[in-house]
Amino acid sequence: MGGAHGNPEDLKRFAKQLRDTRMQVDQLGKGLTRTMGSLDWNDSVKTKIDADVSAVVKGLQRFGSQLDEHARAVDTKAAQLRTYLGR
């Protein structure tokens, strides 16, 4: 039995939420990087924290890219569903 189940508008809202989250993730990473770079502090503890923050920021960047990919996929699915449902 064929058919479609879903609401294109719900999917569009979810895609927007994914993009908004991407922006928040980007801001978080930039803020951490900016703050760490502005600190007048240089010892082994800061070196360790710098390395850890750098790794976290790279992870956030990967996560942000994944959010973009997911948002595009959800947008595509919403458009397909809208066409199928004739909306």
The tens digit of pLDDT for each residue in 11-31 reads 999 999 999 999 999 999 999
pTM of structure: 0.87
Residue 2, pLDDT score: 63
How much is the pLDDT for 5? Answer: 85
What is the pLDDT, as a whole number, of residue 53? 97
SS3 39: coil
Measured CA to CA, the distance from residue 85 to residue 78 in angstroms comes to 10
8-85 CATH fold: Helix Hairpins (1.10.287)
Angle, alpha carbons 10-14-17 (nearest 5°)? 140
Beta-carbon contacts of residue 78 (< 8 Å; ≥ 6 apart): 8, 9, 11, 12, 15
> What per-residue confidence (pLDDT) applies to 46?
96
- Tally helices (H) and strands (E) across the chain: 2, 0
Q: What are the residue ranges spanned by the domains of the chain?
A: 8-85
pLDDT tens track for 46-68: 999 999 999 999 999 999 999 99
pLDDT band at 42, cuts 50/70/90? very high
